[in-house]
Each structure stands twice: as C-alpha cells, then as structure tokens.
Amino acid sequence: MQSGLYIEGRWVSPVLGGTLDVVNPATEEIVHRIAAGTSQDIDLAVAAARRAFDAGPWPRLPGTERAAFLRAIAIEIRERRNDLARLEVIDNGKPMPEALWDIDDAAGCFEYYAGLAEDMDASPPETIDLADERFVSKAVREPIGVCGAIIPWNFPLLMAAWKVAPALAAGCTMILKPSELTALTALELGKIADAVGLPAGVLNIVTGDGPAAGQPLIDHRDVDKLAFTGSGAIGSKVMAAAARNIKCVSLELGGKSPLLVFEDTDVDQAVEWIMFGIFWNQGQVCSATSRVLVHTSIRDRLLTRLTEETRKIRLGNGLSENVLLGPLVSRKQLERVSAFVKRAKSEGFAILAGGNRRTIDGKGFFFEPTIILDPATDSEIWREEVFGPVVCIRSFSEEGEAIELANDTRFGLAAAVLSQDLARANRIAAALRAGIVWINCSQPTFTEAPWGGYKESGIGRELGRWGLENYLETKQITRFQGEAPWGWYIK
Ligand code: NAD
C-alpha cells in the first residue's frame, strides 16, 4: 500500500511528518498509515499545480494528447481492478462486487473524458453573430486553471475519477484531497499517474484530515476552482472560502431523496428498488432513496415483502462471499447512524426491521438494515440525511399528496417514481424538484448523464459534458475589422 504525498510527480513525506491510521471497518484493525498533510504540504502542491498550469505543457497540449494519458490511466485501472477493489473493501467496508463496479466505473469515467478531450480538438471556437458588422467575435473554451478537489469516503476511487478525469481532460491541473478515512485508492491513482508518465504537477495528491489539509486547500489564493463532494456543513465552508477570493465552485452535497410507489407497480419490483435504493453501499450514498412513499392500496403487501426480504440480508466482511451489507465506514459513522435510530425509537416510531448495531466475531462497525414506519413528517429521521441503511416509509392516497410530500425537503438531489402508467410517471418527474429523477428504478448512474442537485443538495453538475463544463472558462475574442477608423477621439 502506498503512503506519502504525491507532489510534482514525486512521493514525498509530509513537512510535519505526521500520520493517520487506516482502519478496516469490518475488523477494526489498523491496516496502514497514511501521511497527515498540512497547510505546508498544500502550499507545495498548489505551487506545483500552478507551475504545471502556467508554464507546463498540459493546458497547451492538443486534446488528443491529453486523451492518450486518460486512456492509459483507464487501462492501468482495469489492469489493477481486483487489487483496487480489494483496497476499497478494506478501506470503506463495501461488499466486493460493489467495489468492482466502482473500479470499472472509474476506468469508464477516464475513458469517457478521454473522448471529450478528443472532441475539443474537433470543435472550432464558436463564432458569435454580432449586430455590428465592423466587429467579429468568437467564444473560445479554455481550462479554468488550478483546481482543488475534495472528496468523501463513500465511493473513494470513483469520486476521485469524477473530478480528476474531466479536470485533466479540460487541461486543468489539480490537487486532490481524498477523505482521511479512505485514501488508499487515491494513492494508487498517484502511482498510476506516475506509471503512465503524466507530466509532473498535473495531478497532486495530498492526504490529511479536513481541518489540517482540506481547509488550507479551500482557502488557498492560487487555486482557481474548488470541486467538493461531501456534507452540507463542509460544502457551506467551501462556498464561504470560495467567496473570499471569488473562486469558481461546484458542490455535490447530501440528500433525503424520495421514492414514490404507485398502486400499479409490481410489489416485488418495488421491494427490489427500495432495497437497492437504500441498502447498497450501506446506505452511505448521497442519492439514497431514504424516504419511501407508497400508495395506501398496496402498502400492507409491500411492507410484508419488504420486511421479509430486509431481514434476509446477509451482513459481513465485504471480502466474504454473498455479503450484501458491509460495515459502515467508521466508528464515528456507526455512532451517528445509531444515534439517529435511537432518537427515532424514543419518539415512538415503529421499527419493522433492524434498528441495532451488530458485530461479526465481536468486531466491526455494522448496523442492521432498518425500516422505520410512519415517522412524523417534521421528525428528524424523516427530514435529515442519516447516511446509513435506514429507510423511512409513509403512505399516500393521491398523486398530488405524494408530490407534495416528496418535495417537502430542503434537499433536491434525486427522486424515483415507480408506476406502469408512463404518462403519470413523466408528469411526476416534471413536478419533482430534484436534479436526477429515476422512473421505474433507483440509483443507476451513467458517466454520460448529468449528476447534481437542486436546493441544498449542491451547485453545478458533474458527469457527461456538464462535468467538463465545470473545468472550462469561456473567453470572448473580438476583432475590429471596420474599414474606417473608429472615430471617437480622432475624427
Ligand atoms: P465531510 O463533508 O466532513 O467530509 C468530506 C470531505 O471534506 C473529506 O475529504 C474531509 O476531509 C473534507 N473536509 C472536512 N472538513 C473540511 C474543511 N474544513 N475544509 C475542507 N475540507 C474539509 O463528510 P464526512 O464527515 O465524511 O461525513 C459526514 C456526513 O456528510 C455524512 O454522514 C453524510 O451525511 C454526509 N456525506 C455526504 C456525502 C455525499 O456524497 N453527498 C459523502 C460523504 C458524507
């Protein structure tokens, strides 16, 4: 396992020499130590990224040449697929098959943005039609500059890919600060960058915790753009820091996403999507459909099947066969989720399944998949993001009531609607205030499609061509071609 900081194409020790323990959440063992970066390391990394942007080849290379590096990174990720997935399980706790999806998606993300980098060469600057024919104007797209990327622990390598791939495709340079809980695959990405000969300083990786390494990165005056995924509380700090010297900012924050189940839905299909929507990755998913609204006419049947199936979910170490639910990422996250459920119980809400911590062989930060029935609509458990395997269910009898309940939240990341009536599903998709709406499914995510939230769920979009836009500036170049002098001062 790699440690150290990756700055200007070299592995270096942090200036102050500190380390942070890496704990396997399934066994509670310390499996590694990573460098505890601080503001001194961030200064070095930003200076390296600045040099690479201002004087290095990267932003000036043709898109096809940047694409070749991105494709090489994708190939390396695929070659190391099993090792990377294993690291993800040890670090984050997720079941191995889910870790393999993440690694494949990360490779796919680099390939996709390689394609967009190539397209940049083929798309000429846009000519602007001006009313005044004495001038000709064009709009040129350019990389934004030095980008600071801060990512969470729920999809470690994939979240890195969502930011590194489009930024590098655009011609930007980057300082990546992974979560202190799950930095192992980001460090492997540094090794991969090295292996493919990425020019020094284009990608710099500084591990460390939020206050010591994240805060100096967001405060740094030489950073042109901040891209953040994580909690709303830290997202707000990122935005405040960006406001101080007017940096561009994109934020992908939390959610409390609704899933609406109409009476014409097959109950087993609904149970499948409800469970996938809240239990994959232990519910530690920003778009998790954690509030289920079910039509009263199928409520009892659905609850019976959902409870039966939820109780069958096999918990365990993500490296073991047939495990569907691993541990939560950390003791802190386990305590946070347990406290939410404890408070919900103390308010008297019915728990249909789960509700308790578990250990395997006396160890691990496991929490049972949990169903909470009919919590009050003003209760914490109904309104706040738990970020764990906890689903709340209420019922509705009218379409309008379902839409109102679904939209009654300060978040707006995702929403799902299950109905065989496509006219109704489309009508509801239009009425839901969310950045992503799934019809007859929950959670599928595509590199080609825009991803991001309304309201307090964020600003901007990742993935697809929107993800590339995040890292591009637009420059107007205007030329005077009048035959006579302009004639304001000199007549
Ligand atoms: P967080 O927002 O605290 O951490 C996300 C990243 O921000 C990490 O890399 C962290 O080191 C960094 N960070 C923390 N403080 C910082 C600061 N002052 N300046 C700059 N960077 C800083 O999230 P968390 O503590 O890992 O999780 C807390 C809650 O956040 C979760 O329970 C969940 O509700 C939410 N969350 C959401 C997502 C998402 O994808 N939307 C991901 C992770 C966590």
Which residue is associated with the tokens 């990755």? 281
How many H helices and E strands in the chain?
Answer: 15, 24
Q: Please report, as a single letter, which amino acid is at residue 436.
A: I
Cα of 354 vs centre of ligand 1, distance in Å, is 26
CA distance 275 to 354: 13
Q: Assess whether 286 carries a catalytic annotation.
A: yes
Q: Which atom of ligand 1 is nearest to the CA of 333?
A: 32
Residue 234's pLDDT is 98
Gap between the terminal Cα atoms of the chain: 73
Q: Which atom of ligand 1 is nearest to the CA of 234?
A: 2
Q: Whose CA is nearest to atom 19 of ligand 1?
A: 215
What type of residue sits at position 216? P
Catalytic residue among 147, 172, 286, 392: 286
Residue 485 has a pLDDT of: 82
Give the model confidence (pLDDT) of 383-398 as tens digits: 999 999 999 999 999 9
Residue nearest to atom 14 of ligand 1 (CA): 210
Ligand 1 binding pocket (C-beta < 6 A) is 150-154, 177, 179-180, 209-211, 214-215, 218, 229-231, 234, 237, 252-254, 286, 336, 385, 387
Pairwise CA distance, residues 106 & 73, whole Å? 10
Rg over CA atoms, the chain: 24
Q: Is 109 a catalytic residue?
A: no
Active-site pick, 76, 252, 368, 385:
252
Q: Which atom of ligand 1 is nearest to the CA of 254?
A: 41
Distance 148 CA to ligand 1 centre (A): 15
Ligand 1 atom 25, closest CA: 231
For residues 257 and 291, what is the distance between their CA atoms, to the nearest angstrom?
Answer: 6
Determine the atom of ligand 1 nearest the C-alpha atom of 150: 9
Q: Give the separation between CA 383 and CA 207, rounded to whole angstroms.
A: 33
**How remote is the C-alpha of 108 from its chain's centroid?**
15
d(CA 104, CA 285) in angstroms, rounded, equals: 18
The rounded Å distance from CA 457 to ligand 1 centre is 13
**Low-confidence residues of the chain: pLDDT under 50:** none
Residue closest via CA to ligand 1's atom 20 equals: 214
Atom of ligand 1 nearest to the CA of 386: 34
**Closest listed residue to residue 362, CA positions, set 335, 327, 386:** 327
Q: If you count them, how many residues does the chain have?
A: 491
Cα(451)–Cα(448) distance, integer angstroms: 9
Model confidence pTM above 0.95: yes
Q: Which residue, judged by its Cα, is nearest atom 34 of ligand 1?
A: 387
Q: Nearest-5° angle of CA 257, CA 260, CA 261?
A: 145
User: Ligand 1 mean position to 423 CA, how many Å?
Assistant: 39
**3-state class (DSSP) for residue 26:** coil
Q: What is the pLDDT of residue 491?
A: 81
Q: How far is the CA of 301 from the centre of ligand 1 (A)?
A: 38
159 C-alpha to ligand 1 centroid (Å)? 12
| 17: Cβ contacts below 8 Å, ≥ 6 apart | none
User: Which residue's CA lies nearest to atom 44 of ligand 1?
Assistant: 230
Give pLDDT, residue 460.
97
Q: How far is the CA of 152 from the centre of ligand 1 (A)?
A: 5
- Test site for ligand 1: of 177, 220, 231, 337, most ligand atoms within 8 A of the Cβ: 231
